[in-house]
Structure 1
Amino acid sequence: MKKKKVFVDLFYLNTALTGIKTYMLEFCEAAKTFPTEDVVYIFSHNHQKQADSTFFRGDVARWKKLFYHLYYFAWKQLILPFKVKKSGADVLLCFDFIAPAFPLNTKKLVVVHDAFFWQMPQNYNRIWRGYFIPMIHAGLKGNTTVITTSHSAKNALEKNAGLHQKIEVIYQCPKLLPESGEDRVLDKLGLHPKSYFLHVGSFDKRKRIPTLVTAFAEIEKQYPGKFSLVLVGEKGLSSALDDYRQVVQKIKEKALEHKVVLPGFLPDREVKALYQTAFAYVFPSSNEGFGIPVIEAMRSGIPVIISDQDALLEIAGEAALIHEMDNPLDLAAQMKELIEKPKLIDALILKGQQRARGFSREGFIGGFLKLI
Structure 2
Amino acid sequence: MKIVIDVGVIGLAQLFETARTGIYRVISSLSLELLAMEDLDLSYTSLSSLQVNQLTDQYFAEHGYAAGAFPRNGFERRLTALAGCDRQAVQEGITAKILSKLYRMSLTGRIGTRADLFHSHYSALPRFRSGRSPVRVLTIYDIIPLIHPEYFADGFADEFRPIVESFSPENDFIFTISECSKNDICSYFKMDPQRVFVTPLAASPALYAPVRDVERIAEVKEQFHIPAGRYFLTLATVEKRKNLALSLQSFREILQEPGYDDLSFVLVGTRGWKVREVCEDIENDPLLRDRVLFTGFVADEHLSALYSGAEAFLYPSLYEGFGLPPLEAMQCGLPVITSKTSSLPEVVGDAGILVDPLDKEEICQAMLSLLENRELRRRLVRKGLERAGRFSWRRCARQTADGYRKAWEGRE
Amino acid of the structure 2 residue aligned with 1:43: T
How much has 1:121 moved relative to structure 2?
2.4
Equivalent residue number for residue 25 of structure 2: 22
Structure 1 unaligned blocks of 5 or more: 52-69, 237-241
How much has 1:191 moved relative to structure 2?
3.5
How much has 1:192 moved relative to structure 2?
6.2
Calculate the TM-score normalised by the size of structure 1: 0.82
Distance 1:178 1:320, change over 3 A: closer
> Do residues 196 (structure 1) and 231 (structure 2) align?
yes
SS of equivalent residue, structure 1 residue 138: coil
How much has 1:78 moved relative to structure 2?
4.2
Distance 1:141 1:309, change over 3 A: closer
Distance 1:98 1:23, change over 3 A: same
How much has 1:127 moved relative to structure 2?
5.3
Equivalent residue number for residue 118 of structure 2: 92
Equivalent residue number for residue 276 of structure 2: 245
Structure showing greater radius of gyration is: 2
Q: Distance in 2 between matches of 1:162 and 1:118?
A: 14
Q: Distance in 2 between matches of 1:75 and 1:360?
A: 39
Whether the 8 Å contact between 2:9 and 2:27 is mirrored in structure 1 is no
Q: Distance in 1 between matches of 2:187 and 2:356?
A: 23
Distance 1:194 1:354, change over 3 A: farther
1:205 to 234, 240, 243: 240
1:110 to 110, 120, 138: 138
Equivalent residue number for residue 56 of structure 1: none
How much has 1:102 moved relative to structure 2?
3.8
Distance 1:175 1:234, change over 3 A: farther
SS of equivalent residue, structure 2 residue 203: coil
Equivalent residue number for residue 3 of structure 2: 6
How much has 1:295 moved relative to structure 2?
1.0
Amino acid of the structure 1 residue aligned with 2:108: P
CA-to-partner distance for each residue in 1:277-333, whole Å, 9 max, x for gaps?
A: 111111011010000011101110111000121201111011010221122222111
Equivalent residue number for residue 285 of structure 1: 317
Q: Distance in 2 between matches of 1:78 and 1:156?
A: 33
How much has 1:349 moved relative to structure 2?
0.7
Whether the 8 Å contact between 1:101 and 1:140 is mirrored in structure 2 is no
SS of equivalent residue, structure 2 residue 165: helix
Distance 1:132 1:178, change over 3 A: closer
How much has 1:80 moved relative to structure 2?
5.6
SS of equivalent residue, structure 2 residue 385: helix
Q: Distance in 2 between matches of 1:48 and 1:279?
A: 41
SS of equivalent residue, structure 2 residue 166: helix
Q: Distance in 2 between matches of 1:48 and 1:234?
A: 28
Distance 1:349 1:298, change over 3 A: same
Whether the 8 Å contact between 1:5 and 1:90 is mirrored in structure 2 is yes
CA-to-partner distance for each residue in 1:74-117, whole Å, 9 max, x for gaps?
A: 6998466235236x222211112621234561112211111212
How much has 1:336 moved relative to structure 2?
0.5
Shifted more, 145-154 versus 188-197: the winner is: 188-197
SS of equivalent residue, structure 2 residue 343: helix
CA-to-partner distance for each residue in 1:241-294, whole Å, 9 max, x for gaps?
A: x13323312322433121111110011121111011111111011010000011
Equivalent residue number for residue 157 of structure 1: 185
Calculate the TM-score normalised by the size of structure 2: 0.75
SS of equivalent residue, structure 1 residue 339: helix
Structure 2 unaligned blocks of 5 or more: 14-18, 47-52, 61-96, 405-412
How much has 1:134 moved relative to structure 2?
5.0
> Do residues 264 (structure 1) and 302 (structure 2) align?
no
> Do residues 228 (structure 1) and 264 (structure 2) align?
yes
Amino acid of the structure 2 residue aligned with 1:117: P
Whether the 8 Å contact between 1:214 and 1:254 is mirrored in structure 2 is no
Whether the 8 Å contact between 2:7 and 2:44 is mirrored in structure 1 is no
Distance 1:76 1:306, change over 3 A: farther
> Do residues 81 (structure 1) and 108 (structure 2) align?
yes
How much has 1:193 moved relative to structure 2?
7.5
Write the mapping of 1:170-189 to structure 2, written as runs, cut at 5 A. 170-176=199-205, 177=207, 183=217, 184-189=219-224
How much has 1:226 moved relative to structure 2?
2.4
Q: Distance in 1 between matches of 2:229 and 2:26?
A: 29
CA-to-partner distance for each residue in 1:209-235, whole Å, 9 max, x for gaps?
A: 111111111111114412111000112
Q: Distance in 2 between matches of 1:214 and 1:132?
A: 32
Distance 1:292 1:211, change over 3 A: same
Whether the 8 Å contact between 1:23 and 1:172 is mirrored in structure 2 is yes
Q: Distance in 1 between matches of 2:362 and 2:284?
A: 20
2:196 to 155, 164, 167: 167
Q: Distance in 1 between matches of 2:162 and 2:301?
A: 40
Equivalent residue number for residue 65 of structure 1: none
Whether the 8 Å contact between 1:5 and 1:42 is mirrored in structure 2 is no
Distance 1:135 1:304, change over 3 A: closer
Equivalent residue number for residue 38 of structure 2: 36
